[in-house]
Amino acid sequence: MVRVITIEREYGSGGSDIARKVAERLGWKLWDQLLTDQIAGLLDCDCRSVEAHEERRDPLHYRLFKAFMRGSFEGAMNAPRMKMVDADCVREVAQKVVTAAAREGNSVIVGRGSAYYLRAYRDTFHVFVYAPIDEKVRRLQETGKSEAEAAELAESVDRDRAA
């Protein structure tokens, strides 16, 4: 019996809209913005900080700085108190929230690596939503973006997520 549905998606494909409609129809909890809110709450930061690091990799210079900082005695001691929000800590907390949502059941979870984190769960159904580039551009234009901006976002966001 399926108790969890994960929906991964290409940017602009309408995956979030599909997830919302599926959750409404089933009467299940939707973990999309709620997931971001939970992560922000656990990290004691605002949602914009989480959104800036979700499904992304930190730049090389930041990763080098973090490795250097953790390699020093002072840095290792002070790092937890600094409450740094970066891609690594967002990913770690996202995994915890996603697995907790799966244990709760009756959940539709959008992105954030949920299909990967729940790959061994037998009661989970995984979906990937994709669309042709012209359809993604059209959807993004409906949100107020210019055609050029929509085309650039449709190409770059998925490339950044994959990286």
> Mind listing the pLDDT tens digit for each residue in 113-150?
899 999 999 999 999 999 999 999 998 999 888 888 88
Whole-structure pTM value: 0.75
Tell me, what's the pLDDT at 88? Answer: 75
Q: Do 9 and 15 contact (CB within 8 A), yes or no?
A: yes
Rounded to the nearest angstrom, the gap between the alpha carbon of residue 41 and the centroid of all alpha carbons in its chain is: 15
Q: Compute the half-sphere exposure of residue 40: CA atoms within 13 Å on the CB side of its CA.
A: 15
